[in-house]
Amino acid sequence: MDNRLEWKSLLLKPFVFFTILMLLKLLIVWGVVFKPSGGAFWMTLVTGIPPVWFVFCLIESFLYKRKLGTYLIVDLLFTAVYFAVIMYYKYFGVIVTYHELRQVNQVSEVNSSVISLMDPYYLFIFVDIVLLAILLVWSRRVRNWGKGLSVRENRSLYAAGQVVALVVSGAFVLPHRDTMNELEQAQSMGVINYEVYQAFASSKDVKVNPQSITPEIIAQVKGESDPGQPVMWQAAKGKNVIIIQLEAFQNFLIDLKIDGQEITPNMNKLVRNALYFPHFFQQVGQGNTADAEFVVNTSLYVPPNGAASEVYADKDLPSMPKTLAANGYQTATFHTNNVLFWNRDQLYKALGWGKYYDDRFFGKTDPVSFAASDEVLYNLTADELEKFQKSGKPFYAQIISMSGHHPFRIPESKYKMQLPERYKGTLVGDYIQAQNYADFALGQFIAKLKQNGVWDNSVIVLYGDHQGLPIYSLNNTEKSLMKEIYGREYGLTDMMNIPLVISVPGAAPHVYEQVGAQSDIYPTVANLLGISLSNQVHFGQDLFNHNDNIIPERYYLPSGSFITEKGAFVPGAGFEDGTTYLLKGGRSTKPEVTKDEYERAHKLVSMSDQYVSSLPEWNKETH
């Protein structure tokens, strides 16, 4: 009996009691975040507990008079960090840090997407807080327990504990400061240690003098050679340019049939009659859709932290709208959401758009996701483009679709296909249903452009803005459905793979097998129009005249990741322990890429960061 009382007394000490709770919460973090990449459970615990003990020792030493309440507050703070890490990983596949706090104002707009990522068992992480709060209100016994804790324990013991916890935390942090892969870094340091470290960590960029960054130097780093007589030069000189950004549209949808049902018949028809790049990849960051707009229109890379539309919106950015306007084009961008979302009102000024159309133009009728449907978008936009053409000046228009937005739950009235039973109620099924509708709306747009005469006088560029089905979000059933679709395991390169389709008046259909990415669209369009970018800094390349490519990736994959024709390379602590995810599926731990390519990819993102940082701010007084 005495032994049981002693154990009970020990377990009810808040230091022990809340330590056990933290261990259970770290178990959940490990199961969601670190286990899928092969991380050891013991490592998550060993690295995760010292910073917790450091804070607990502070409570015991200095805040003992309100000990239980303070422990509960600290429990809530740690739990909030763990929960944020879990939820962010489920979509982006990376570890959230304080930098992402600037995105909090966007959560209300996409709350359905956030909720859809949540497995019910994640909420167990908050159960102790809720129960203790209830018991403190309703149970006198628990309140008396809390009052009885308000005594100072052995202060010297806890002071020594603080020192030991701090030293151990430092021993986990210091050796891993140079680790490139943030997922490995977070597990090696411990989640809380990693979050604290990131608040003070310096940039991973290679130092480059911004004044030395020129198109010639970038070409040297990328390994590009001058094509001499460029293919497709001026093939569409003087033509309109219409760029259609398809929400969450991945490349596997092209020619996909499920139980005999063609999922994207309009895109399939377009692919068969246009220029198609099947090995094309996203390059977005935290800003997703808005980042895609930025990358495509600047041929620059997204910032290391934050959305480009927020971090770079004050810069006087070189851009496709400005270049085409200087060559006689009128420019406009179309999006059914409010222009304030993702700070687009400022980004559009930085990019130099002549006009923008948002929900004030499209209205709020026929909603899908959180704005007017793609049918409304395309119908009203087609009328505006007809007016532009009648003005006699060529135009550049970018159109941002949105009906295929995560979590892909469109109204039943928009269903254009019947899902097989095995797909119903799954993220994969909802995704396919939504993209089938988005393709239907796109087909109406194409038909209207052909009817009003705009199509035949325009270069049409279509691409996906970013992935729709993150590997990290899929449950076992959904992974099985993707395996059925691919005929193999759904991999990282599949997730990052989006289509690029270019329709050029008079050009014969062709499939281009080289790899490319969103930063390549601007120079590729410039080549078609016969506009030289030789004096403008850009990090993409004209896909008609360059076959080799190094494509740095900044999000959804860890820092230091890049894509070549070999696949997607993801570093470990550095290059030597990295993994290459092959384009056709599977992975290789032997060096499929070279260290020189790894270093050049790292240098390219560093150059972009430092170049944009050196740009002057645009003059707000003139806008």
C-alpha 129, offset from chain centre: 31
pTM of the entire predicted model: 0.92
Torsion angle in degrees (nearest 10) through CA of 351, 356, 359, 360: 130
List CB contacts of 13: < 8 A, sequence separation 6 or more: none
Query: Are 254 and 261 a contacting pair, CB within 8 Å?
Result: no
pLDDT at 107: 45
Query: Are 299 and 538 a contacting pair, CB within 8 Å?
Result: yes
pLDDT at 139: 82
pLDDT at 6: 59
Tokens of 481: 């459905």
Cβ count within 10 A of residue 208: 18
DSSP assignment of 561-606: -EEETTEEEE-SSSSTT-EEEETTS-EESS-SS-HHHHHHHHHHHH
Cβ count within 10 A of residue 537: 20
pLDDT at 462: 98
pLDDT at 8: 57
Query: Are 399 and 380 a contacting pair, CB within 8 Å?
Result: no
pLDDT at 111: 47
pLDDT at 141: 82
β-bridge mates for residue 337, sequence order: none
pLDDT at 7: 58
Summarised one tens digit per residue, pLDDT across range 83-140 is: 999 988 888 888 888 877 666 555 444 444 555 555 666 777 888 888 888 887 888 8
Summarised one tens digit per residue, pLDDT across range 507-540 is: 999 999 999 999 999 999 999 999 999 999 999 9
Sign of CA dihedral 34, 37, 42, 46: negative
Mean pLDDT, each 10-residue run in order, the chain (623 residues)? 57 83 92 86 92 92 80 92 90 84 54 56 81 83 75 80 94 93 93 93 87 94 86 96 98 97 98 98 93 97 92 95 98 94 91 96 91 96 97 96 92 95 96 97 98 97 96 93 96 96 97 97 98 95 94 91 95 92 88 92 95 88 52
pLDDT at 5: 54
pLDDT at 133: 84
DSSP state of 559: T
